[in-house]
Amino acid sequence: MNTSIKNILQNNDFSKDDIIELLYANQSETKFLYQKAKEVKSGQIGDKVYLRGLIEFSNLCAKDCFYCGIGKSNKNVQRYSLSDREIIQAAQFAFDEHYGSIVLQSGEVKSREFENRVDRLLKQIRKITGNNFGITLSCGEQNESTYSRWFESGANRYLLRIETSNKELYNKIHPHDFLHIFEKRIESLRVIKKTGYQVGTGIMVGLPGQTISHIADDILFMKAIDIDMCGIGPYIEHKETPLFEQRNTLMPLNARFELTLKVLAIIRIMMKDINIAASTALQSIDKLGREKAIQIAANVFMPNITPQSYRKNYNLYDNKPCIAESPVECQSCTVARINLANGKVAFGEAGDAKHYLHRMNRRNEILI
């Protein structure tokens, strides 16, 4: 092993130069990076894998991100929005099957009607599941008052992916208008955290124009804002998006996959007690992609419990897996996958991030 890599891995925190060197590590060196991440995960998190039942309740979106298959300008996607009844039934399924938590995910919509609807759903779900059931929202940028309202009504986690912490790159993969403002995206994360949520974010690895230096900065950004959870996945192009034209400039899919695993390993070492999701996009490239992520660093698995007939219309990228299975089929597959990765399914546990719990304890100690 490269002496420099060996020296870097003796530490539990890395500089930007350290991260860059680890991201460039060759195959034999990477094994040591993965081993270190596994040791940190074992010591800090253990072998438990928390389930988050994913409900993709609407693909209506006001935004037009250049990488996303459900962007507003895509006229070839069939738009849908689950009924309240369908959403409540999906949440009830997760609760009855002892998932411990759900994720309510949608396209980005910002309106009083949408705010009221999500608020109503949160209150209904909380009523049937009780206070020990985790509810994550992934509904994009909202007003501070909206975040607060949803928090008070029962949501306790919020995922807002930044996709990149580099303003120049952000502007290359988004339209230049008032709906896509880099500073607003970053500020939203700070507001979400201030509101009291367990805060999560994430990036895509392998974007057109993205460099190793960008990714190193992304990792340092996530550590600096003190996130509680993250979702990191490889960039996979969608044929109905503007960025599809740049597909010939991209690194091969397998390279994007391996680089994503390196990012996950580095994050686990640097942010030891956060929750890390095994992204579905990994499985699009490697049939055992999510299992490999769990073996190395991840401790959250998100089985899709959206009614099967809608799933094909929530394609953020091409070749998305798990669109033909029923929620019951996804459940049995999930358990098998986690077992294959030597994980232990944490049935009935909300799976709050240990980092969040530690952060709240520190804050309470200061207040006392």
Q: Alpha carbon 296 to chain centroid distance? A: 16
CB atoms within 10 A of CB 289: 23
- 123 close to 154: Cβ distance less than 8 angstroms: yes
- 237 close to 250: Cβ distance less than 8 angstroms: yes
- For residue 195, the one-letter residue type is T
CA distance 47 to 295: 9
CB atoms within 10 A of CB 254: 11
Strands (DSSP E) contained in the chain are 48-51, 53-58, 101-106, 134-138, 157-159, 198-201, 204-205, 229-234, 275-278, 300-301, 344-345
State the virtual CA torsion across 252, 290, 312, 158 in degrees, nearest 10.
-110
Give, in order, the Cα–Cα distances in Å from 303 to each of 55, 267, 354. Answer: 9, 23, 22
Residue 148 annotated as binding site: no
- 30 close to 259: Cβ distance less than 8 angstroms: no
- 264 close to 219: Cβ distance less than 8 angstroms: no
CA distance 248 to 94: 41
Nearest to 88 by CA among 137, 52, 123, 121: 121
3-class DSSP state of 318: coil
Residue 185 annotated as binding site: yes
Residue 330 annotated as binding site: no
Residue 163 annotated as binding site: yes
- 134 close to 352: Cβ distance less than 8 angstroms: yes
Residue 61 annotated as binding site: yes
Q: Which residues are annotated as a binding site for (3R)-3-methyl-D-ornithine?
A: 138
Residues flagged as binding site: 61, 65, 68, 138, 163, 185
Annotation: binding site for [4Fe-4S] cluster: 61, 65, 68
Binding site for S-adenosyl-L-methionine, by residue number, is 163, 185
